[in-house]
Structure 1
Amino acid sequence: MEWVKAVQRLRARRQAGVLVTVLSVRGHAPREAGAKMVVAVDHVWGTVGGGNLEALGVERSREMIAGGAAAPEVLTAALSDKAPYQHGVQCCGGEVRLLLEPLPVVPSVAIFGVGHVGLELARILARHDIELHLVDSRADQLTGERLGVLDDAVAQVHVHNVPVLPELVVGELPPGTHVVIMTHDHAEDAALCDAAIRNDQLATIGLIGSSAKWTRFQRKLADDGNPAEAIARITTPIGIPSIIGKQPAVIAVSVAAWLLERFTEQTAGASSAAAQSAARLPVSARSAERRPASAQRKAQA
């Protein structure tokens, strides 16, 4: 189905979109319930009937994308020459309700170091709808047999075996990625920290380790020319303070919980941006069908 391929394409490109579905039809309408289209900032796949109905769906979808909306909405349109319209008359005589479901860009996490803790963390995160990058300079940590525990992952898992200069992967990560540094080699950790704080598109940078390790790293990063505000982007230790224990599985649970909090903060930020965006719209744009607001558009939690 075209809409399924469109959703996959948006996800691969890490672009937001909206899935528009004909939720219900009363009377005559161009498409039946269940018809779908996918709307992106610059493209539309499929159709829910064309004309004013579809134009309203596309317009509102792009407003939702621009505002980072997270909650679905229902838009109702009357297909009558007596109904308010904005993009041309549709006089089929029916009424159509469209369900607009945001297709957000999913979180992205990169784990540098897939040792005992890294693998346990990957097992937890793989149960979530995210992009998960596993990076290690040791080929034996990334074998199919060892990573077989991720075969049923919900996440899209990307494996990076980089024997030399794994820090180069930092520059290839999608914008907004959460980086977790926990390799077997402190020199490798230090190089990754340096590369990460020079990349201003990362969401968060987490480093596993002791306070003594962090003291040495801060000194080295400063000696390498990094300003204090850049170094401060690194969070260490990572995890939830109340979850204690040194077993790999315990540490992984703590770090995973910390990351889930970061995901929640991102979602809250997107919702706030959506509200601010809607508030800035002109009155004519905020009213439902550009005047049929109350009757034409209804929000659904």
Structure 2
Amino acid sequence: MGFDLNSLSRAVAQHGRVARVVVAATHGSTPREVGAAMLVWETGQSGTIGGGTLEFNLARAARLQAAPNQLGRHALGPEMGQCCGGAVDVLTEIYDAERLKTLTQQQVFARLVAGHGDMPFKVKRLLAATRAQGVPPMPQLIGDWMIEPFETPTTTLWIWGAGHVGRALVHTLAPLPWVQITWVDTATDRFPDEIPPNVTALPAQDPARLVRHAPVDANHLVLTYSHALDLELCHQLLAHGFGHVGLIGSATKWARFRKRLALLGHAGEQIARIQCPIGDPDLGKHPQAIAVGVAAALLNERSPQQLGQEKIA
């Protein structure tokens, strides 16, 4: 979890005044973790802090908020009638184009959101540790100071193919702010009319020629309409380098591909790095089921710290 400046900037450009509502601290059982955020504007919203009465009431209040910052604690049981039983400290900040211009990375990492005064020693120590270790701190509230690093993509994913499975994968994975997606197919009309703003669509008559432009540590999902193109992509990726490659297909397809890739000169241990099939076979072969399985695998690969389960103090 972190401050998703790209999403906020797009929302401000489209809607003008936008409230960013973020869970700053949790006490007991709560529906979302620290750092969970939603954006609210006059006619809509995106993201979620857990749904239910809490989200409904805070979204309504955000549309009426006049102050640039507001920090408050909400008891989910007595105040909201929710069953979680805990409480959350929620920060609501109002942004427009002018405020975005003044926002710096330092202000996101540590910003005074309530009260007044100099930066406390605990915050200074945390920022010093961040600079020394090169590891951003987890979102957290320290007194009147909100600690929240920028959300930056940590997983580079190239999806080869814009058919049913490719579309399901993009639909499922694009909302994850830490995934940066490049989507490739053979022609513009292979893509849907609407593509998520954080997805780069690349039409190319010969997609395999784009492999050389991918980072050598990128992850790839190969699922084009053509077995011949799938094979060529696997061949080029094995020569180029990759973090992970997943290939859609059956056991029979993969057996044939292994033989052909070996004949093309690739070593068995390198070929074995390609995963086929992708997703979780127990979930079935529906495109959305495949996408859910792939998303689950990506989430499982993230460290507890990246998932927000640990806190740097």
TM superposition score normalised by structure 2:
0.55
Residues 37, 47 of structure 1: 8 Å contact kept: no
Mapped to 1, the partners of 2:275 and 2:232 lie a distance apart of: 16
Report how far residue 39 of structure 1 moved.
4.5
Tell me, what secondary structure is at the counterpart of 1:103? coil
Flag the structure with more relative contact order, 1 or 2, with Cα contacts below 8 A and sequence separation at least 6. Answer: 1
Report how far residue 207 of structure 1 moved.
0.6
What is the root-mean-square deviation in Å for CA atoms of aligned residues? Answer: 4.0
Mapped to 2, the partners of 1:161 and 1:179 lie a distance apart of: 16
Residue in 1 that maps onto 2:201 = 159
> Percent of counterpart pairs with the same letter?
23
Structure 2 counterpart of 1:170, one-letter code:
V
Residue in 2 that maps onto 1:213 = 253
Mapped to 1, the partners of 2:214 and 2:130 lie a distance apart of: 28
> Structure 1 residues 73 and 190, CA, compared in 2 at 3 Å: closer, same or farther?
same
> Structure 1 residues 123 and 270, CA, compared in 2 at 3 Å: closer, same or farther?
same
Report how far residue 63 of structure 1 moved.
4.8
Residues 210, 237 of structure 1: 8 Å contact kept: yes
Unaligned runs of 5+ in 2: 10-34, 36-68, 72-91, 94-101
After superposition, residues 61-210 of structure 1 pair within 5 angstroms as 61-63=130-132, 66-67=134-135, 71-75=138-142, 97-101=145-149, 103-129=151-177, 130-142=179-191, 147-150=192-195, 153=196, 156-164=198-206, 166-174=207-215, 176-200=217-241, 202-210=242-250
Report how far residue 261 of structure 1 moved.
2.4
> Structure 1 residues 50 and 4, CA, compared in 2 at 3 Å: closer, same or farther?
farther
Residue in 2 that maps onto 1:259 = 294
Tell me, what secondary structure is at the counterpart of 2:232? helix
Mapped to 1, the partners of 2:233 and 2:104 lie a distance apart of: 42
Residues 197, 233 of structure 1: 8 Å contact kept: no
Report how far residue 266 of structure 1 moved.
3.4
> Structure 1 residues 195 and 256, CA, compared in 2 at 3 Å: closer, same or farther?
same
> Structure 1 residues 204 and 101, CA, compared in 2 at 3 Å: closer, same or farther?
same
Aligned length: 216
> Structure 1 residues 161 and 214, CA, compared in 2 at 3 Å: closer, same or farther?
same
Residues 72, 101 of structure 1: 8 Å contact kept: yes
Report how far residue 160 of structure 1 moved.
0.7
Structure 2 counterpart of 1:264, one-letter code:
L
Mapped to 1, the partners of 2:293 and 2:202 lie a distance apart of: 24
Residue in 1 that maps onto 2:24 = none
Residues 198, 230 of structure 1: 8 Å contact kept: no
Report how far residue 271 of structure 1 moved.
5.1
Deviation digits for residues 7-41 of structure 1 (CA, Å, limit 9, x no counterpart): 98xxxxxxxxxx9xx999xxxxxxxx98964159x
TM superposition score normalised by structure 1:
0.57
Structure 2 counterpart of 1:38, one-letter code:
Q
Unaligned runs of 5+ in 1: 9-18, 25-32, 77-95, 276-296
Mapped to 1, the partners of 2:312 and 2:282 lie a distance apart of: 42
Mapped to 1, the partners of 2:118 and 2:210 lie a distance apart of: 44
Tell me, what secondary structure is at the counterpart of 1:59? helix
